[in-house]
Structure 1
Amino acid sequence: MIKVGITGGIGSGKTTFCKEWEKLGAYVLYADDFAKQLMQEDPKLQQKITKVFGDESYDSEGNLNRPYLAKEAFEKGRVEELNELVHPVLWERAEELANKKEQEGVEVFAKEAAILLQNGRPKDLDFVIIVMADQEQRIERT
């Protein structure tokens, strides 16, 4: 199985590009969506988030309190703290999913993430595609 990273700035066309790849049979993991799912469903990750960001991170029914967490992370400059909790779990679970998809016969597994190259190219990828658009197009799309 070929493993591909797909990245690019906001409004660059990553999602459109990925949708076309899906039509061709690739499995695309959308990192932002997967991270939100993990923050909602992974008990160990929930415990870590609650320990660092407080009990307000989840409501009384155990649902992720996105407005609160966004405020804590983005307005208070704690994005890196949140990323340090979520990213290791995200990439570990992504690798587990890739292995499962390979067993199911998937030939191309793509990871779509805006910050894929933040710490260099992930070693588990065969190659990375950077989707680009000029600034005018990006502004129109957002």
Structure 2
Amino acid sequence: MALQIGITGGIGSGKSMVCRIFKALGAPFYSADERAKWLLNNDEKLKKTVEALLGKDAYLADGSYNRRWVAQEVFSKPALLQQLNAIVHPRVGEDTEAWVKRHKKAPYLVKEAAIMARAGQRNSLDKIIVVEAPVALRVARVLQRDAQRSEAEIRDIISRQISDDERLQLADFVIKNDESQLLTPQVWELHQLFCKKR
């Protein structure tokens, strides 16, 4: 089987950019967040289950997932958020397994997720890469790409995510994205290492 590499990092750390470099190098890439969004919009069985939990407002008239409404509904109700996650996460897990089987001949696979456990701990990952950047830089990046969010909102999101220290405890490898080092050589070095391990 292909090596399974998890990539994580806080909001604005640049994990998506790191994933794009791995993808450009030919690594099959899976984004748990993007696939969850796709499944919530396209998987009829999942849609029915979400609607049964949250009601008709969970979907708009055109059948698309009412993300903003759901977020407002669940983030102030931890028990409801937990129930929603208990529906969505297993479905994403099944989707991930099917994707892994489709790419078993690749030397390694890359999976991106905001929340991750240590490699081998309640997951099928072999190694974890943490993308790291200083908080001030992360805030500036998110402000630049998302004009809808205020600095206070972004700092609130950061405070709700696991801390940088906790994230580093999961890391087998750390990629520094603090603008003092180039990203591509760091990714290239890991790409070569993962290709050799096959």
TM range (shorter): 0.7 to 0.9
1: CA distance between counterparts of 2:51 and 2:98?
A: 25
Does residue 92 of structure 2 align to residue 90 of structure 1? yes
Does residue 121 of structure 2 align to residue 121 of structure 1? yes
- Kindly provide the amino acid, as one letter, of the partner of residue 83 in structure 2: E
Residue by residue over 1:71-120, the C-alpha shift from the partner in whole angstroms, topping out at 9 and shown as x without a partner, is: 21224443322211111100111110111122xx43221110001229x8
1: CA distance between counterparts of 2:134 and 2:72?
A: 30
2: CA distance between counterparts of 1:13 and 1:97?
A: 24
2: CA distance between counterparts of 1:141 and 1:79?
A: 28
Change (3 A) 1:11 1:5: same
Matched-pair contact (CA < 8 Å) for 2:7–2:112: yes
Residue by residue over 1:3-48, the C-alpha shift from the partner in whole angstroms, topping out at 9 and shown as x without a partner, is: 1111111111101111111111111111111100000111111111
- Kindly provide the amino acid, as one letter, of the partner of residue 9 in structure 1: G
Determine which structure has greater relative contact order: mean sequence separation of CA pairs < 8 Å that are 6+ residues apart, divided by chain length.
Answer: 1
Q: Flag as ranges the 4+ runs of structure 1 deviating above 4 A.
A: none
**How high is the TM-score relative to the length of structure 2?**
0.65
Does residue 55 of structure 2 align to residue 80 of structure 1? no
**How high is the TM-score relative to the length of structure 1?**
0.88
Of 108-117 and 77-86, the range deviating more from structure 2: 77-86
Specify every segment of 5 or more residues in structure 1 that has no aligned partner in the other structure, as ranges: none
Matched-pair contact (CA < 8 Å) for 2:41–2:64: yes
1: CA distance between counterparts of 2:52 and 2:12?
A: 34
Matched-pair contact (CA < 8 Å) for 1:116–1:122: no
Matched-pair contact (CA < 8 Å) for 2:36–2:88: yes
Q: Tell which structure's C-alpha radius of gyration is larger.
A: 2
1: CA distance between counterparts of 2:7 and 2:59?
A: 31
Identity over aligned pairs, percent: 37
Specify every segment of 5 or more residues in structure 2 that has no aligned partner in the other structure, as ranges: 143-198
Residue in 1 aligned with 2:27? 26
1: CA distance between counterparts of 2:98 and 2:64?
A: 24
Query: Equivalent residue of 1:6, what SS?
Result: strand
RMSD after superposition? 1.8
Residue in 2 aligned with 1:65? 66
Query: Equivalent residue of 2:137, what SS?
Result: helix
Number of residue pairs matched by the alignment: 139
Query: Equivalent residue of 2:132, what SS?
Result: coil
Residue in 2 aligned with 1:9? 10
